[in-house]
Amino acid sequence: MGPWCGQMGVGGWVGMVGLWVIVVAVVIWGVSRLFPANEAPAPRAVLDARLASGDLDADTYRMLRRELDGVDSVTKDRQWRAT
């Protein structure tokens, strides 16, 4: 071993590894703050946007809206029964 390696004891190596772990963690945290994950839009907002853009006609919109409302009421009913 060269002279650069023999002067640092076990504590020095543990400290250096710990320092690099902290540096990498801070870099990963910083990048995740710069580029946050996009949340999925709400189903009703997507449905409203599709109606506004002309992808859906009014009858299809009403049918899908009723289905979405039915899913929400079923979910709320299940949550209420579970308590």
Give the tens place of pLDDT for each residue, 44-56. 999 999 999 999 9
What is 9-38 written as a DSSP string?
Answer: -HHHHHHHHHHHHHHHHHHHHHHHHHSPPP
Supply the pTM of this predicted model: 0.44
List the chain domain ranges: 3-34, 43-82
Which residues of the chain, if any, have pLDDT below 70? 1-6, 71-83
39 by Cβ neighbours in 10 Å (0-12 / 13-18 / 19+) ranks as: exposed
- How far is Cα of residue 68 from the mean position of the Cα atoms in its chain? 23
